[in-house]
């Protein structure tokens, strides 16, 4: 493990302790609060946010950002970018913006505004027992105040900062798309030579896990309270996951116009060349049917050359309009679904799942 990842791991553990441990201590210390299993059941969503989401957002700094910058380095070394001066300015601006103090301050301010809005707007009767104290100001217990003033702001600040970074990443890709890219229609990656930029979707998996776990924790809380997962919550979870996927894929759409033009140009140029080569091939080998077939015919390279040409032409006619592979999309989708697996086991007992699996084998 690198020094940066060790440091991020320490910060992740510290953030989890600061956001979660005081809630547990203050909840247990409150004489009127439930204890044991009841308290654990009431704090599922809060526990997931503090012990899973917050650490993931912290760790993502070392898991995600280096991979994004490696993608930019590939742009720099590959020769794809025509306007290097414009590209260098855009990359430098994005590096500064993603880690700027201004962005962090904006995220913190927005986090406290969001926490205040949630604390004031959420109906008191829907709050868990550990969160409420009818004799206190605004009805919050000490644990509830810590949740509103510390735990939620930390979560919101990290989430908003990642939203800031995603926006900065999208702006960077938008500027790169305007840098006179030299795309090759027949490139075997099917994206004119920039398929590597689709790896950014996989790089954001750790961030997506953090966002997805928020909804998964809420779903687990609903099941613990109601004994089942409501349809409204199910629809919300599905829509939520789709929105997260779109959030990470949308920045890649800035390359769609260039890829469409490259595909059209390649289809015309390679198609025309293939037609002329095909006509010459037919004129040489197929027009005169009375010409005897000699043994040397089987050793000429014309046939393999035509096969290679048509294969290249086929590549030029199949340029994808979004530079992202199924593998990258699947890695992101699987990452977003993982937090919901415990929810599935809460809805369907493990014994039932095991029985169904065994039934597939016999």
Give the model's pLDDT for residue 240: 92
Domain edges within the chain: 3-249+327-361, 263-316
pLDDT tens digits for range 184-229? 877 778 888 888 999 999 999 999 999 999 999 888 888 877 777 7
How many of the other CB atoms lie within 10 Å of CB of 17?
Answer: 12
Q: What percent of the chain has pLDDT over 90?
A: 36
Give the model's pLDDT for residue 214: 93
| 170 CB-side CA count, 13 A | 13
Where residue 131 falls among pLDDT bands split at 50, 70, 90? confident
Higher pLDDT, 122 or 335: 335
Task: Report, as an integer, the average pLDDT of 46-65.
Answer: 92
Give 293: exposed, middle or buried? Use CB within 10 Å, 0-12, 13-18, 19+: exposed
DSSP designation for 228: S
Q: Return d(Cα 77, Cα 307) in angstroms, integer.
A: 32
Q: Return d(Cα 185, Cα 230) in angstroms, integer.
A: 49
By the 8 A CB rule, do 107 and 160 touch? yes
3-class DSSP state for residue 299? helix
Q: What percent of the chain has pLDDT over 70?
A: 79
Please give the structure tokens belonging to residue 343. Answer: 């929810």
Q: Return d(Cα 58, Cα 334) in angstroms, integer.
A: 21
pLDDT of 94 strictly over 70:
yes
3-class DSSP state for residue 256? helix
Q: Return d(Cα 146, Cα 54) in angstroms, integer.
A: 15
pLDDT of 78 strictly over 90:
no
pLDDT of 127 strictly over 90:
no
pLDDT tens digits for range 300-348? 555 566 666 667 776 677 778 888 888 889 989 998 999 988 887 777 7
DSSP for 112-179 reads HHHHHHHHHHS-GGGS-GGGB-TTSGGGB-HHHHHIIIIIHHHHHHHHHHHHHHHHHHHHHHHHHTTS
Q: Return d(Cα 197, Cα 200) in angstroms, integer.
A: 6
Give the model's pLDDT for residue 97: 92
Please give the structure tokens belonging to residue 362. Answer: 């016999």
pLDDT tens digits for range 237-287? 899 999 999 999 999 999 999 888 888 887 777 777 767 766 776 666 565
């Amino acid at each position: 493990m690198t020094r940066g990842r060790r440091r991020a791991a320490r910060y992740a553990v510290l953030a989890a302790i600061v956001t979660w441990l005081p809630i547990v201590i203050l909840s247990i210390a409150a004489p009127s609060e439930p204890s044991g299993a009841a308290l654990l059941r009431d704090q599922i969503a809060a526990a997931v946010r503090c012990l899973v989401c917050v650490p993931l957002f912290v760790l993502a700094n070392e898991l995600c950002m280096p991979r994004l910058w490696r993608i930019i380095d590939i742009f720099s070394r590959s020769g794809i970018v025509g306007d290097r001066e414009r590209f260098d300015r855009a990359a430098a601006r994005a590096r500064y913006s993603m880690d700027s103090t201004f962005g962090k301050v904006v995220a913190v301010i927005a986090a406290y505004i969001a926490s205040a809005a949630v604390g004031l707007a959420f109906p008191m009767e829907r709050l868990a027992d550990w969160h409420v104290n009818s004799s206190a100001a605004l009805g919050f217990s000490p644990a509830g105040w810590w949740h509103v003033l510390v735990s939620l702001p930390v979560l919101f600040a990290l989430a908003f900062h990642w939203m800031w970074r995603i926006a900065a990443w999208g702006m960077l890709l938008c500027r790169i798309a305007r840098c006179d890219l030299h795309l090759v229609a027949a490139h075997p990656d099917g994206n004119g030579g920039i398929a590597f930029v689709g790896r950014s979707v996989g790089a954001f998996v750790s961030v997506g896990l953090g966002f997805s776990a928020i909804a998964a924790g809420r779903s687990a809380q609903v099941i613990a309270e109601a004994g089942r997962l409501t349809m409204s919550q199910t629809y919300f979870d599905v829509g939520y996951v789709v929105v997260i996927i779109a959030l990470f894929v949308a920045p890649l759409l800035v390359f769609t116009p260039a890829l469409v033009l490259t595909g059209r140009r390649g289809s015309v140029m390679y198609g025309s060349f293939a037609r002329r080569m095909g006509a010459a091939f037919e004129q040489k080998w197929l027009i005169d049917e009375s010409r005897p077939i000699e043994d040397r015919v089987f050793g000429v390279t014309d046939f393999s050359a035509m096969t290679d040409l048509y294969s290249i032409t086929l590549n030029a006619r199949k340029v994808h309009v979004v530079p992202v592979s199924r593998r990258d999309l699947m890695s992101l989708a699987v990452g977003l679904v993982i937090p919901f697996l415990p929810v599935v086991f809460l809805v369907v007992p493990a014994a039932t799942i095991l029985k169904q699996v065994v039934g597939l084998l016999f």
